[in-house]
Amino acid sequence: MADFTFPLSPARVNESGTITTSMLVKEPTRLSSYVSKLTEANLVSQFLFTSTAAKGGAIMYDRLEANMALAPEKPGVIAPGAEFPAFSTSQGKPKIDRVVKTGGHYDLTREAEKRNDPIILQRGANRVANTMVKDIDNRAFAVIDDVLTNMEGALKLESDGWAAAGKVTASQKTALTGEGKLIDDLEEAKLKIEETNLGYIPDTLVLKPRDAKNLRAVFGVNNWQSVLSTLGLRLYISNTDSFADGEGLLLQRGAIGVMGVEDPISTDNEYIKSRQVTRFYTWATMAFGVTDPLSVVKLSGLAQ
């Protein structure tokens, strides 16, 4: 999306000419920008949550767990002279979640700096970025899973299995076998969200790598994107540890909750004289809160 801004991006640094290792030592903010770009390329949770600022070490938010529209008519329909229907946007006490810091450090030797060898820094920054992606997504999906597991009335769909659907021969395929099974599951999950009458528009599918592989195999490598497009869905793949094999999500992009950012991706450094190395520290501090759990369906049984 053209207007999308990566929520963990640091303040931008104007770049002109060649960037040397000495420049990165003197201006570690440039490394923050580099790590941010690596993280942005792989972070799935950035598309599920809306970003906001976290102040005071925590985020506070409301959670909507039911449609509380109060009107004898259909929500939004106003008879002449009648009162406007009321829509509840919050329920109960506000929720509070504390921020958590994630990141790591990596070293640049004096010799590597003198040789202007950027590979050492790139390798360290890559490892930190990959670790941050894994950690941030794991935390985001763990928060979602915890809410859906403990909330009464959470939307869930148990599939008969997409792996089995891929083994159905052409002569045995029906509307509910083969690719028909996958389409039925996805359409049913969308209906569960739409039937809440809360105005959510499900448009995002999140799968683990093997389940995504089965989806592509069943729909066909040349057709799977057009099939999902017809269903109004976009696929994101995450190898999160917070979900078991065969589990996934169908939801509205950016609607499930907030990503509260206290520190965007930041980098600092120090020179360690005893080792003659410059140590770089890269981190980000944030919290996740689920505000709209009825905007998502948890899928399970896909690996069968």
For residues 158 and 74, what is the distance between their CA atoms, to the nearest angstrom?
31
What's the pLDDT tens digit per position in 233-273? 999 999 999 999 999 999 999 999 999 999 999 999 999 99
The pLDDT assigned to 86 comes to: 65
Which tokens sit at 110? 């004096």
Provide the mean pLDDT of the chain: 86
For residues 39 and 128, what is the distance between their CA atoms, to the nearest angstrom?
9
Residue 70 has pLDDT above 50, yes or no: no
Reference 285, options 301, 264, 270; nearest CA is 264
Name the more confident of 275 and 65: 275
Residue 224 has pLDDT above 90, yes or no: yes
Residue 276 has pLDDT above 60, yes or no: yes
For residues 15 and 32, what is the distance between their CA atoms, to the nearest angstrom?
13
What's the average model confidence in pLDDT over 34-60?
Answer: 93
Q: Which residue has the tokens 């969200």?
A: 193
Which tokens sit at 255? 């609607």
- Range of 16-30, 174-188, 210-224, 247-261 with top mean pLDDT: 247-261
Name the more confident of 291 and 9: 291
The pLDDT assigned to 29 comes to: 80
Reference 67, options 189, 195, 191; nearest CA is 195
For residues 269 and 282, what is the distance between their CA atoms, to the nearest angstrom?
9
Give the distance, in angstroms, between the CA of residue 124 and the centroid of all CA atoms in the same chain.
Answer: 24
Name the more confident of 210 and 2: 210
Residue 66 has pLDDT above 90, yes or no: no
Which tokens sit at 221? 């490598």
For residues 137 and 240, the answer to whether their CB atoms sit within 8 Å is: yes
The pLDDT assigned to 87 comes to: 62
Reference 266, options 36, 1, 90; nearest CA is 36
The pLDDT assigned to 112 comes to: 86
Reference 283, options 140, 141, 144, 136; nearest CA is 136
High-pLDDT (> 70) share of the chain, %: 84
φ and ψ at residue 280, rounded to 5 degrees: -105, 135
What's the average model confidence in pLDDT over 145-169?
Answer: 87
For residues 164 and 180, the answer to whether their CB atoms sit within 8 Å is: no
For residues 187 and 200, what is the distance between their CA atoms, to the nearest angstrom?
14
Beta strands 248-251; 277-290: pairing state:
unpaired
Kindly indicate the confidence band of residue 173, based on its pLDDT and cuts at 50, 70 and 90. low
The pLDDT assigned to 69 comes to: 53
Which tokens sit at 168? 């159905």
Residue 280 has pLDDT above 60, yes or no: yes
Residue 90 has pLDDT above 80, yes or no: no
What's the average model confidence in pLDDT over 86-114?
Answer: 84
Residue 15 has pLDDT above 60, yes or no: no
Lowest-confidence segment of 54-68, 142-156, 280-294 by average pLDDT: 54-68
Q: Which residue has the tokens 């053209």?
A: 2
Residue 83 has pLDDT above 80, yes or no: no
High-pLDDT (> 90) share of the chain, %: 60
For residues 278 and 54, what is the distance between their CA atoms, to the nearest angstrom?
31
CATH topology of domain 28-300: phage-related protein like fold (3.90.1690)
Reference 242, options 103, 147, 125; nearest CA is 147
Domain ranges of the chain: 28-300
The pLDDT assigned to 73 comes to: 47
- Find the Cα–Cα–Cα–Cα dihedral 31, 34, 35, 41, rounded to 10°: 180
